Amino acid sequence: MVTFDGKKARKVKRDLPSSRNKPFFITTAIDYPSSKPHLGHAYEKICADTIARFQRLIGKDVYFSTGTDEHGLKIQRAAGKAGKTPKEFVDEMVVYFKELCRVLNISYNDFIRTTEKRHIRVAQDIFRLLHKKGLIYKGEYEGLYCVDCESFYLRKDLAEDRCPVHKKPPETIREESYFFRMGKFQKELKNALKKGLVEPEGKGLEILNRLKEDLKDLSVSRSSIAWGIPVPIDKKHTQYVWLDALLNYISTLGWPSGKFRRYWPADIHLIGKDIVWHHSVIWGSILMGSGIPLPRKVFVHGFVNLSGQKLSKARGIIVDPIGLCRKYGTDSLRYFLLREIPFGEDGDFSEDALVTRNNDELADTLGNLVHRILSFIYSKNKGTVPKPGKYDKLDKKLKLKIETTMERAGTLLEDLQLHKALEEILGLAKAGNEYFQAKEPWKGDFDNCLYLGANLVRSLAILLSPYIPESSRKILKSLNTKLGSWESARKLLVKPGHKIRKPEPLFRKLELEEAPQERKKIKVGVEKGCQDLGIKARAALLYGLKVKKKKGSLEKLKKEQLKGMRINQKRIGDYLGIYKKLGLKGTGHPIPKMYKIIKNTGKLPTINTVVDSYNLVAVRESLSVGAHDLDRIEGNIRFKVTDGSEKYTPLGGSEPKKIRKGEYACTDSKGKRIICRLDIKQCEGTRITPSTRNVFLYVQGNRKTPDSLLKKALKEICENITKFCGGECMVL
């Protein structure tokens, strides 16, 4: 690969030429067409498409497969509800998934459906093979079954007796079934996981931890579900969906012959984090039992969240990706998801953030650069690329930047760091704007600037083509040239005398269209137990905010106000006195911790414009302050002493946890969910995110805190937030 030494790229080993025409097989999970696709489906396909397009650019013979998983109880029930046969139902729904691929510009080689004859043949042949080897036997199964997951759960794996993914109670199913001896492959699976079968590493470790317990055999047939592939040795049964759907990754290749011989094993098997077990343990053991090699890599991407909650058809948390493409443009959506979400982690979606990325980076940085260079060539040099003279320092610096960006971005894409590679490429566009501005071609000496500029535009079109293919095509059309290989992006192949076409604006500035919303209102109460402790609170509701990571004017205010700041130790002591009275030993207050950070670093941590706005006042006045996403609060707010039955999901967590009896907390959901513990610990469910528009804010004091101070602090915080985030405030 490539290492980097200072500003210069040093070629250590180049494997791109030798990779030419090597097979590369990438798959996505196949989608369940029980309803129309959501943004999560789009994200996985966009990521896979970006990888596939890059691999083609470096010369690989790429095969990219996606499709739909069309059998099972959930489909059977959805079809019945719609008054259709299951086949009629899936035939209608699959149209939406194929349309999604078309709109998103997904360059798949095959879209496989599990109702196709070619797939059914493979599924039945694998069943026969496993049975012939003695790996399938008949028995009886009883278990807790989530229809939406098409999965069984142990009671210990449920969250409050509900499916941890879909939050619904499972059904108890008992029936005759055929079983696959999955437990036989536990040791081999562990070895494969230890060697890095699943990435990122943490996801592989999660599966390894689950494999510390004995691996049970898998029920692989159903006698109660008619909508499925018939078991070839017993027509009373249909194949369980996970011994059907998973086989699409080899049926798409025509196993055991045809394309299978060239492309298997899959180089990258791309899946979401809620199905890692199925695609590593179940799929892996089926492959081992069938004598088929495992994929080279199972890569797990994160969820696309909306206000912190996973997109889910079953739970009604849906964003229509086709509608977004029509509204904002396909490449704007592709760019946003790939730039905003670190590959392998969760990320939040908001239309506001999409508009900001489009306007600041695609329109202002990339679009502006391309249009400036090509328009200058077209208008000032009759559309002809000039012949350069001797390079000066700025010219050499830009030429080197083009080369190193190709190297760095290529290395990052090979390592599946899609977001970091895109950041590198955007850095080249920013450098191009700085170069153009510094060279001042409008003063007359423009030969070098326009020659290197034309080649820079070509390089950017190539490097960005895996991410925003349609925009790259438009750039190359204006430049009057064709897409080259990834390696060619480092070369100056636009020669003097080359004629370009009249350029057109590449990206339009977008505006966020926000539908008017009814203002949510809540009541705030302090229960007797907290009143007896002297706890009191002042609260406000803020509407129509635009939350950002940081704002220059806020950073300036933070810097100014931190000079000479001290905390009120007596006021902190009043809070600690309550903890002591409740017998909560070793519990500290957040303000001294925050103050210590300020003393050590000289600055207040940057979280977002809402939290930073209130932290300024909270530290200076030594007060407890909380802010929560108003739209994610359920019911009214209560300050109460806990009885131990409340549920609390800590910041960054995914599962609710019980807490000690005798703490005090800020709660919603009729006092059953804790949104903040002891002034200290924010819950995950109501945290402030870039998608937050409306906020519940409170300043909390104790018996010795003057009411006038709470009122004054609340007013100042509200003024800060509306100043830096916009919106309006209503004091309760």
Q: Which residue has the higher pLDDT, 252 or 566?
A: 252
Q: Is residue 674 part of a domain?
A: no
Name the residue among 669, 666, 721 with its Cα closest to residue 693: 721
Percent of all residues in the chain with a pLDDT value above 70, rounded to a whole number: 91
Residue whose pair of structure tokens reads 């953030």 in the numeric block: 353
Q: Is residue 25 part of a domain?
A: yes
680 falls in which pLDDT band (50, 70, 90)? low
Name the residue among 645, 649, 670 with its Cα closest to residue 527: 670
pTM for the full model?
A: 0.70
Average pLDDT of every residue of the chain: 88
Integer Cα distance of 518 and 543 in angstroms: 10
Integer Cα distance of 204 and 277 in angstroms: 10
Q: Which residue has the higher pLDDT, 666 or 591?
A: 666
Q: Does one domain contain both 250 and 368? A: no
Q: Does one domain contain both 232 and 321? A: yes
Pairing of strands 624-629, 695-701: antiparallel
Integer Cα distance of 527 and 667 in angstroms: 11
300 sits in which H/E element? strand 298-301
Integer Cα distance of 640 and 662 in angstroms: 9
11 falls in which pLDDT band (50, 70, 90)? very low
Could you say which of 300, 330, 360 is where a domain stops? 330
Question: Which pair of structure tokens corresponds to residue 17?
Answer: 């030429």
Integer Cα distance of 41 and 29 in angstroms: 9
Q: Is the confidence at residue 2, as pLDDT, over 50?
A: no
* Mean pLDDT value of segment 81-86: 92
Q: Is residue 393 part of a domain?
A: yes
Q: Which pLDDT belongs to residue 165?
A: 65
Q: Which pLDDT belongs to residue 609?
A: 87
Which neighbouring-strand residues pair with 162? 159
Q: Does one domain contain both 147 and 180? A: yes
The answer to whether residue 38 is catalytic is: yes
Could you say which of 490, 525, 551 is where a domain stops? 490
Contacts of 319 (CB under 8 A, 6+ apart): 38, 39, 304, 306, 311, 349
Q: Which pLDDT belongs to residue 8?
A: 34
Q: Does one domain contain both 113 and 179? A: yes
Q: Does one domain contain both 12 and 86? A: yes
Could you say which of 471, 490, 509 is where a domain stops? 490
Q: Which pLDDT belongs to residue 401?
A: 97
Q: Does one domain contain both 316 and 369? A: no
Q: Does one domain contain both 326 and 406? A: no
Q: Is the confidence at residue 585, as pLDDT, over 80?
A: no
Name the residue among 279, 81, 286 with its Cα closest to residue 180: 286
The gap from C-alpha 68 to its chain's centroid, in whole angstroms, comes to 21
Which neighbouring-strand residues pair with 682? 676
The answer to whether residue 237 is catalytic is: no
Q: Which pLDDT belongs to residue 565?
A: 73
Q: Does one domain contain both 143 and 263? A: yes
The answer to whether residue 563 is catalytic is: no
150 falls in which pLDDT band (50, 70, 90)? low
* Mean pLDDT value of segment 104-116: 97
Measured in degrees and rounded to the nearest 5, phi and psi for residue 326 equal -65, -35
The answer to whether residue 313 is catalytic is: yes
In this structure, what CATH number is given to the domain that contains residue 111?
3.40.50.620
The answer to whether residue 146 is catalytic is: yes
* Mean pLDDT value of segment 635-662: 83
Q: Which pLDDT belongs to residue 490?
A: 95
Cβ atoms of 337 and 308 within 8 Å: the answer is no
Q: How many domains does the chain have?
A: 3
* Mean pLDDT value of segment 558-579: 77
Q: Does one domain contain both 478 and 538? A: no
Q: Does one domain contain both 173 and 248? A: yes
Q: How far is CA 229 from each of CA 89, 233, 241, 522, rounded to the nearest angstrom?
A: 16, 12, 9, 52
Integer Cα distance of 673 and 646 in angstroms: 6
Cβ atoms of 25 and 63 within 8 Å: the answer is yes
**Predicted confidence (pLDDT) per residue in 232-249, tens digit:** 999 999 999 889 999 999
Q: Does one domain contain both 114 and 247? A: yes
Q: Which pLDDT belongs to residue 513?
A: 63
Domain span including residue 539: 534-638+682-731
Among 237, 301, 313, 640, the active-site one is 313
Q: Which pLDDT belongs to residue 378?
A: 95
Q: Is residue 661 part of a domain?
A: no
How many residues make up the chain in this entry?
Answer: 732
Among 74, 101, 131, 149, the active-site one is 149
Q: Is the confidence at residue 166, as pLDDT, over 70?
A: no
Among 101, 146, 683, 725, the active-site one is 146
**Range with the lowest mean pLDDT among 132-136, 214-218, 314-318?**
314-318
Q: Which pLDDT belongs to residue 187?
A: 96
DSSP H stretches of helix in 159-234? 186-194, 201-210
Q: Which pLDDT belongs to residue 616?
A: 81
* Mean pLDDT value of segment 211-236: 93
In this structure, what CATH number is given to the domain that contains residue 398?
1.10.730.10
Integer Cα distance of 710 and 724 in angstroms: 21
Q: Which pLDDT belongs to residue 10?
A: 33
One-letter amino acid at 578 equals: I
Integer Cα distance of 225 and 215 in angstroms: 25
Percent of all residues in the chain with a pLDDT value above 90, rounded to a whole number: 55
Count CA atoms within 13 Å of residue 689 on its CB side.
Answer: 23
Q: Which pLDDT belongs to residue 504?
A: 87
Q: Which pLDDT belongs to residue 652?
A: 72
Beta strands in 554-680 (DSSP E): 624-629, 637-641, 647-648, 657-658, 664-668, 673-677
Q: Is residue 499 part of a domain?
A: no
Q: How far is CA 146 from each of CA 68, 82, 167, 365, 511, rounded to the nearest angstrom?
A: 20, 21, 10, 48, 41
Among 131, 166, 259, 269, the active-site one is 166
One-letter amino acid at 262 equals: R
The answer to whether residue 269 is catalytic is: no
**Range with the lowest mean pLDDT among 152-166, 250-264, 617-631, 679-693?**
152-166
Integer Cα distance of 341 and 322 in angstroms: 19
Q: Does one domain contain both 550 and 424? A: no
Q: Is the confidence at residue 7, as pLDDT, over 60?
A: no
Q: Is the confidence at residue 454, as pLDDT, over 90?
A: yes
* Mean pLDDT value of segment 563-584: 78
Cβ atoms of 450 and 390 within 8 Å: the answer is no
The gap from C-alpha 210 to its chain's centroid, in whole angstroms, comes to 24
Question: Which pair of structure tokens corresponds to residue 190?
Answer: 């562990």
Name the residue among 213, 215, 243 with its Cα closest to residue 229: 243
Integer Cα distance of 526 and 29 in angstroms: 49
Per-residue 3-state assignment (H helix, E strand, C coil) for 234-251: EEEEEECHHHCHHHHHHH
Among 60, 203, 310, 647, the active-site one is 310
Q: Which pLDDT belongs to residue 595?
A: 75
